[in-house]
Amino acid sequence: MAYAVGLHTQHPWIPPQTNFPLKTFRGSDHTVMYIRPSWDDERLLRELKKTYNKLRGFWRKWFSLKNNTHSFIYPQRVGSASVSPHRNLRFRWCLNHPESQGGRYDFMRALTRRADYGIEFVERWQVTRLVIAIVLPLALSLLVAIIYTLRTGDVSSAFTIAGYMTSAYSVFLVLLGILNLVEF
């Protein structure tokens, strides 16, 4: 049957092995997940997202200023070579919307073609997380200065306290940035 708008017909996928090992990388960390023959692309993408979150860990998932922006099929790219923003966006979108790939086997075919293939998750700084990390504490220190001024009438002390809060938080942000650069 030919492809029609919104209809995708594919021949049944025949897996090469019972459980296919797929290497997944995030920075210097890596693990092997095992793809089962009963999976379709939706299940594969859900499992890849779980594996990525395990590689990140709880603290990095919720408090890192970086997030997965690109994913590459290894060995085509490994390391810190420049990444163009237009490449691999489909895979990232599919990772965030696995339900769109239900009943399909495109990724399953591509990733199980050879045993030396794997997925590398590449993280970049997220503008939204950076803006929240910077603007929220600045607004909070300004709010503290205004409330202190209204209660005591001492503008100089209020903005001294706000300045201390801002400088203490900036040290925290610098340390957080350094920790995001170091792989541990």
Give residue-wise pLDDT tens across range 122-143. 887 788 888 898 899 999 999 9
Residue with tokens 């890192």: 64
- Whether residues 106 and 45 share a domain: the answer is yes
With the CA atoms of 158, 164, 168 and 169 taken in that order, what torsion angle do they form, in degrees rounded to the nearest 10? 40
pLDDT tier at 76 (50, 70, 90 boundaries)? low
- Whether residues 93 and 169 share a domain: the answer is no
- Whether residues 74 and 145 share a domain: the answer is no
Residue 69 lies in a domain: yes
CB 180 within 8 A of CB 66: yes
Task: For residues 6-33, give the mean pLDDT.
Answer: 74
So what's the pLDDT on residue 183?
Answer: 60
Task: For residues 162-176, give the mean pLDDT.
Answer: 89
Pairing of strands 29-35, 20-26: antiparallel
Residue 149 clears pLDDT 80, i.e. is over it: yes
Among candidate residues 96, 125, 154, the one where a domain is terminated: 125
Supply the mean pLDDT for the chain.
Answer: 79
pLDDT tier at 15 (50, 70, 90 boundaries)? low
Please tell me which residue, 159 or 183, carries the higher pLDDT value.
159
Q: Report CA-CA distances (Å) from 155 to 124, 142, 143, 158, 166.
A: 41, 12, 13, 5, 16
Q: Which domain holds residue 109?
A: 20-125
- Whether residues 92 and 111 share a domain: the answer is yes
Residue 8 lies in a domain: no
- Whether residues 26 and 112 share a domain: the answer is yes
Task: For residues 59-86, give the mean pLDDT.
Answer: 61
Share of the chain above pLDDT 90, in %: 27
- Whether residues 136 and 150 share a domain: the answer is yes
- Whether residues 114 and 177 share a domain: the answer is no
Look at the chain and report how many structural domains it folds into. Answer: 2
Length of the chain: 184
CB 101 within 8 A of CB 94: yes
Instruction: Provide the β-strand partners of residue 7.
Output: 4
- Does the pTM surpass 0.75? The reply is no
- Whether residues 113 and 140 share a domain: the answer is no
Residue 7 clears pLDDT 50, i.e. is over it: no
- Whether residues 95 and 145 share a domain: the answer is no
Q: Rounded distance, CA 125 to CA 97, Å?
A: 21
So what's the pLDDT on residue 91?
Answer: 75
Q: Rounded distance, CA 96 to CA 126, Å?
A: 16
Residue 14 lies in a domain: no
- Whether residues 58 and 117 share a domain: the answer is yes
